[in-house]
Structure 1
Amino acid sequence: MIQNVLILANGDLISGSSGFEKIFRPIGEFVEEVSLLYTLLKERAVDLILIPEIYPKINRGVVRRMRLRNPQADIWQIVWSDTDSAAYEIYDGTINIDDGPEQIAKKVQRILHQKSLLKKYNIIGRSEKMKVVAETIDRIAPTDISILIVGPSGSGKELVARAIHENSSRAGGRFVAINCGAIAEGVLESELFGHEKGAFTGSVASRVGMFIRANDGTILLDEIGETKLDMQVKLLRVLEDGYFYPVGGDKPVHSNARVIAATNRDLIEAIHSGDFREDLYFRLGVVKIVLPALYDRRQDILPLLCHFSALEKVKGFSDSALDLLLRYDWPGNVRELRNFLARMGALHPDSEISAIDVEQFISEQAFESRNLPVVTGHTHEEAGHELIYHALLQLGSEIKMLRDLITVNLQGRSEFETVNNTTDDTAVYSDKTMKDIERVMIETALRECGGNRKTAAKKLGIGERTLYRKIKEYNLN
């Protein structure tokens, strides 16, 4: 029996003729009552909870309370092939009892292995995408290959780079990070490669650069996509043979630093536009790790909220506040989430966070990020179309957010416990109208751009990822 696996099973299941006990007794500990399961989740570390689909009175609210007691635990549903299984998107996956003891045991072991990797690399979350990230780190950390980490700002690229360094043979060496986009090109060369005395005005002494400081360790080149082509040539040589010239120097210097690069840019697009060298891209990206935006791994929002709430001494959240936080897209990703909790911990040290607090934060973020749309059309007609597209999409987004806020405040209940069965004709009509308008705009833009999604996204004034999500949402080809 595995101590960190709990299986919710009453007497009828355990003593039944389905072979349930024979299959699952070696896997984990049987717990007959939900109330006892709640207690155990408070008292011990649990990695996996298994819940049969036929166990009575299990709903969104029950599963949510389990998650709040142990946000990192996976919760999977046990299903029967001859039963209609409805997971309601509240479980992390399903285990089919007809797969038999051997396959079920293998599946459970894989789940637990993935959980152990998340813990090992200090990754907070339970989403499949972050499990893949953890498995990739585990495979490449012991090697010396160059790595490219791609992800939006605030998604944790430096934390992943540190995890790779700390679990490699170079852990005894230095981990050095530099933001290439925050330093002027001339200064960047000196910072990376060092300089000789008298190399430029004010250089009264020679100075070693970051590649030497990271010798036998790891250097992180953050925002690598912001470097100029001249600098890219010099970085390419370092990657090829480890040699470089300090500024003002005439003798090559060698560094044995492992190079990890990170960017929030689309480097393939930068290559096509002539802003990034293709050979450098392939040198850097021997292995590429993609960190998703937080809205693309929503299962991780609750574990992150609980983790950082403890660090920032936040007392807790009302149900309606938590619903809003789980629905919010977090454009600033994990960094924005932690900053929000730091703010709440400072402003409300003795009380739980309310829906009003969250609404105020979301409103402020929307106000601060609202900018006039940049017009890229070449003609007055194209420019006018862009402005209209952008304005309507923005309006649709704001109407949706407002409707969510009103729904939460009126219901005052958890989205896990209730399904919004609003029958108000006006609300349904307004939602349908906005979705119809948005769909038509996207279809029109794609048609006018000959199906080129990148061009269509620019015409609409939205990001490519947003357009991809909308195409999937509306099932557009």
Structure 2
Amino acid sequence: MIKKVIILANGIVLSQSSGFEAVFGQAGEFIDEVSQLYTVLKERAVDLILIPEIYPKISRGVVRRLRMRNPMADIWQIVWTDAVDESLLGIYDGTININDGPEQINKKIERILHQKSLLKKYGIVGRSEKMKIVAETIDRIAPTDISVLIIGPSGSGKELVSRAIHNYSSRSEGRFVAINCGALAEGVLESELFGHEKGAFTGSVARRVGLFVQADKGTIFLDEIGETKPDMQVKLLRVLEDGYFYPVGGDQPAHSDARVIAATNRDLSEAIRDGLFREDLYFRLGVVKIVLPSLYERRQDILPLLCHFASSENLKGFSDSALDKLLRYDWPGNVRQLRNFVASMAALQPDGEVSAGDVEQYISEQAIEQRNLPVVTGHTQEEAGHELIYHALLQLGNEVKMLRDLILSNLPVRHEFETESEAGGASPSFSDKTLKDIEKVMIETALQESGGNRKKAAQKLGIGERTLYRKLKEHNLS
């Protein structure tokens, strides 16, 4: 059997520590040289690499190169004392003290390998301790029927975790249905969840089965549960208590045996204090809570995620300087943002690796977008909404004027003495064009003037290259 644990130990290590081989002899495969280890990592997957602190010439650069060859492998340091070498601080995933003896060391290695197997089992990419704890929690609760509340920022993988719980539960043969509670108006949300009877409201020409019934014997995932209104919270509480609910417009209760997994990116305890969320519903939903960290809080997972998505998108890779910038970036959109970044790079750099310039441009574009987001003003929600609408309309008006001026400036000049027939008939008025039509014309013009060079076209339009690529797809432009 191919061993998944590699121990870097040459003659120097073995001669300086007489008990080393006795302690680690059964733990894994011994390799003498770093160069040999590079070759092994190129040929096969390894779960754990152990490097003694007395192994000569181990630097941050060496460990980083090892990580590049196998981003998912844990790299632990074997130590003889509890003293910390500050020059190597943060580059290892942990330490194993040789003085703990064979039994304790083998238990520790077994736990590391078990955690690695759980990460793989549940489709979690990374090696951070926080995500290992998440995987262990999924493993314990998946076989049960208890409700779960997943807490984490947007883009952190809440739906991925909920699907993993469902897929490894006794309900895996049933349906998994998901809904974003914050994306729908309250009346629409109620109809989606509980269904409605024919004639329940204008336009309801037929009876509709809701998601709770569709998820019977399966799992329903309620994303952004913190955005629900008090009336909806009461109805959800009853479903959690006994499985019964009333379809919209119905007078007979319906029943569903669906496991409920909810998620939020809000601090629900604060919402409870503010009277915006029911405490009893919070406790019903959160029988078990899973907290997903932001990507900023688990930086050691950035490299594995980059490599994972690059592989799935057939992206060649990243230059060293690009990687430095990516590993230092905070990723405010978390895993979703990182995945989208790799996808856009794969489209823009299909035959080459991502450069530091590509990363700098991306980060610059993200900073501009962040500056354009609304900020807390102290206004009420209604006042803030009116203000945002006003600014949006003002900006839209300016954009329409700019677009109109640009297109009119590119129209062929029609002389006053030309008749309508001589000019080729009545030209369509500007008002006949939608913004989408105008946008398409602008993109086509910019591409034509740039000789098909997308980078130059984006500069002409004053937008990022990734934005242009997205617009090309929207308008079906090659």
Superposition TM-score tier, normalisation by shorter sequence: 0.7 to 0.9
Amino acid at match of 1:55: Y
- Determine the structure 1 residue equivalent to 2:24: 24
1:368 partner letter: E
Deviations 1:39-92 (A, max 9, x none): 111111210000000101111111111111110000000001286644321000
Please give the alpha-carbon distance, in whole angstroms, between the structure 1 residues aligned to 2:127 and 2:84. Answer: 26
C-alpha contact 1:2 1:27 (8 A) present in aligned 2? no
Residue 158 of structure 2 aligns to which amino acid in structure 1?
K
CA distance in structure 1 between the aligned counterparts of 2:124 and 2:183, rounded to whole angstroms: 27
Once superposed, what is the RMSD of the aligned Cα atoms?
1.5
* 1:328/1:376 CA distance change after superposition, 3 Å: same
SS at match of 1:292: coil
Deviations 1:172-219 (A, max 9, x none): 000000000111110110100011111111111111100000000000
TM-score, normalised by the number of residues in structure 2: 0.77
Query: Take 2:266 and 2:313, find their aligned partners in 1: how far apart are those partners?
Result: 31
Alignment of 1:136-155 (within 5 A): 136-155=137-156
Q: Superposed, which structure 2 residues align to 1:129-168 within 5 Å?
A: 129-168=130-169
- Does residue 35 (structure 1) correspond to residue 31 (structure 2)? The answer is no
Bigger shift: residues 282-291 or 17-26: 17-26
Structure 1 residue 372: Cα displacement: 6.1
> Does 2:176 align with 1:180?
no
Q: Which residue of 2 aligns with 1:51?
A: 51
Aligned equivalent of 2:65: 65
Distance 1:332 1:303 in 2: 17
Q: CA–CA distance in 2 between the matches of 1:183 and 1:373?
A: 23
Deviation at 1:115, TM superposition (A): 0.5
Match of 1:336 in 2: 337
Shift of 1:376: 3.1
**Alignment partners' CA distance in 2, 1:328 and 1:174:** 38
Q: Report the 3-state secondary structure (helix = DSSP H, G, I; strand = E; otherwise coil) of the residue aligned with 1:297.
A: helix
Query: How far apart are residue 12 of structure 1 and its match?
Result: 2.9
Does the residue aligned with 1:50 lie in a helix, a strand or coil? Answer: strand
Is 2:22 aligned against 1:9? no
CA distance in 2, matches of 1:169, 1:235: 23
Contact 1:294/1:329, CA 8 A, preserved across alignment: yes
* 2:12–2:55 Cα contact (<8 Å) kept: no
Larger Rg: 2
Any conservation in 2 of the 1:9–1:55 contact (CA below 8 Å)? Answer: yes
**One-letter code of the match for 1:199?**
A
- For the residue of structure 2 that corresponds to 1:75, the secondary structure is strand
Spell out the pairing of 1:381-400 with structure 2 (5 A cutoff): none
Deviation of 1:310 (Å): 0.7
What is the aligned partner in structure 1 of residue 447 from structure 2?
none
- Distance in 2, matches of 1:259 and 1:149, equals 11
Alignment of 1:50-449 (within 5 A): 50-81=50-81, 85-86=85-86, 87-370=88-371, 371=373, 373-376=375-378
Q: Structure 1, residues 252-292: CA drift from partner, whole Å, max 9, x if none?
A: 11100000000111111111111110100000000000000
Deviations 1:90-140 (A, max 9, x none): 000000011111111111111111101001101000000000000000000
How far is the alpha carbon of 1:14 from its aligned partner? 2.9
TM-score, structure 1 normalization:
0.77
Residue of structure 1 in register with 2:413 after alignment: none
Alignment partners' CA distance in 1, 2:136 and 2:82: 34
Identical counterparts, % of pairs? 78
- 1:374 is matched by which residue type in structure 2? V
Amino acid at match of 2:168: N
Native 8 Å contact 1:309 1:341 kept in 2: yes
Structure 1 segments unaligned to the other structure (5+ residues): 379-477
Shift of 1:2: 7.6
Measured after TM superposition, the shift of residue 16 of structure 1 is: 4.6
**Residues 13, 21 of structure 1: 8 Å contact kept:** no
Provide the rounded CA distance (Å) in 2 between the counterparts of 1:139 and 1:12.
44
AA matched with 2:258: A
